[in-house]
DNA sequence: ACAGAACGTCAAGCAGGTTGACGGATGCGC
DNA sequence: GCGCATCCGTCAACCTGCTTGACGTTCTGT
């Protein structure tokens, strides 16, 4: 191998391309399916609330952003009808956040579109290698971040 | 092994995590090496100008953004001394953009840091699987975008 | 020569993020 | 109990990156 013969494409660039490809594909398809007002940032909140409601204070850690950014994002999603935000009965300072019915339907649509996009990838790459790619990504991202999949953005 | 019954982690999320991990790592390290004023968006321009100068009109296609966004970004990089922008002798409307010496030194530093970060990944995953991951990404991203690696926009 | 296209910039605005500061609620030491 | 540090969420101001629309200048095809 020559020292500077053919530099490989930086992984960061490949990740940026892959991310944009999938997210753009998603947000091209959602309006066609009757979801015209979904902003890109909504997706991470949908995922975070997928399995259970959360207190607003938990979301910054899950999303990797500040509590102020989360507050504004949740406000927008409440206004759009995708999440519900009500008082925590045990702590008058805190508020609970959970998906609304509409939010849950949106989440299902998002997962369906992602599944279709990934099927295209499987068709181009092969199902086996696609799953290996996913597994390796999970493995290396967990390993370099203390054994668990980290937040999308490192918490400042 | 992860439970097969659970839905797999969306690739988009893995890409977002991986991208942030690498870019954050880069921008933590650069100030320590004497590059305190590098904004995240600069990297894509450095890469685009790596092999040859370009006309400003070519950059939107290479970066995947509008010409106005490119204009402002290049202006900031000129002010920071990383690129030079001068008149095209053959077309008084156009301007040529190229890396300055300082910009070329920065590019070398960026590639060195990325190489170190990817070595950490290779240590966690194995050199062989890391290269397979890169090759598969290039393959699938090219295949789903007409045979060539598509443009990229900075994420977040 | 001139209409139209192309190059780059200016201006206004949005989305998403940051830091700093703050009022209300909590809970722990005493 | 009480007092005070701490926590929860919001408001405010600001920054980066990107968008669309409009525009002056320059080139090009007919």
Measured CA to CA, the distance from residue B98 to residue A89 in angstroms comes to: 61
Whether residue A156 is contained in a domain is answered as no
Mean pLDDT along residues B96-104: 97
Q: Is residue B155 part of a domain?
A: no
In sequence order, the β-bridge partners of residue A117 are: none
How far in angstroms lies nucleotide D7's C1' from the CA of residue A94? 10
Q: What residues 47-106 of chain A have any CB closer than 8 A to a CB of chain B?
A: 47, 64
**Is strand D less than 7 A from the beta carbon of B66?**
yes
Which of B20, B22, B118 has the CB atom closest to A152's CB atom?
B20
Q: Is A108 on the interface with B (CB under 8 A)?
A: no
Closest nucleotide to B94: CA versus each C1': C7
Q: In the prediction, which pLDDT does A6 show?
A: 54
By the 10 Å C-beta count (0-12 exposed, 13-18 middle, 19+ buried), A46 is classed as buried
Residue B130 lies in a domain: yes
Indicate if the pLDDT at residue B4 is higher than 90.
no
pLDDT at position A2, please? 39
Task: Give the closest of B12, B16, B124 to A144, CB-based.
Answer: B124
In the prediction, which pLDDT does B155 show?
Answer: 46
Q: Residue B153's pLDDT is what? A: 65
Residue B107 pLDDT greater than 60, yes or no: yes
Mutate to test the interface with A, among B12, B44, B131, B147 (most CBs of A within 10 A): B12
Query: pLDDT tens, B32-86?
Result: 999 999 999 999 999 999 999 999 999 999 999 999 999 999 999 999 999 999 9
In a domain, residue B20? The reply is yes
Specify if A48 maps to a domain: yes
Residue B32's Cβ-count burial label (10 Å; 0-12, 13-18, 19+) is: exposed
Restricting to B residues 130-149, those with a Cβ less than 8 Å away from any Cβ of A are: 130-134, 136-141, 143-145, 149
CATH of the domain at B98: 1.10.10.10
- Which residue ranges of chain A lie beneath pLDDT 50? 1-5, 155-156
Q: In 3-state terms, what secondary structure has residue A96?
A: strand
The predicted structure's pLDDT at residue A5: 40
Does any domain span residue A125?
yes
Residue B66 domain-assigned (yes or no)? yes
Instruction: Specify if A12 maps to a domain.
Output: no
B1 touches chain A (CB under 8 A): no
Strand D lies under 7 A from the Cβ of residue A79: no
How many domains are there within chain A? 1
Domain, as residue range, for A28 = 18-143
DSSP element (H, E) containing A54:
strand A54-55
């Amino acid at each position: 191998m020559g020292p500077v013969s053919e530099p490989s494409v930086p992984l960061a660039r490949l990740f940026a391309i892959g991310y944009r490809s999938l997210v753009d594909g998603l947000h091209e398809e959602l309006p066609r399916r009757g979801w015209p007002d979904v902003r890109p940032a909504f997706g991470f909140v949908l995922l975070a609330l997928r399995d259970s409601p959360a207190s607003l204070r938990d979301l910054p850690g899950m999303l990797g952003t500040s509590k102020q950014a989360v507050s504004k994002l949740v406000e927008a999603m409440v206004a759009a009808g995708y999440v519900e935000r009500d008082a925590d009965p045990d702590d008058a300072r805190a508020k609970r956040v959970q998906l609304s019915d509409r939010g849950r339907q949106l989440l299902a649509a998002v997962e369906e579109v992602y599944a279709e996009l990934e099927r295209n990838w499987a068709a181009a790459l092969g199902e086996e290698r696609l799953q290996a790619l996913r597994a390796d990504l999970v493995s290396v991202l967990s390993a370099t971040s203390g054994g668990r999949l980290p937040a999308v953005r490192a918490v400042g």
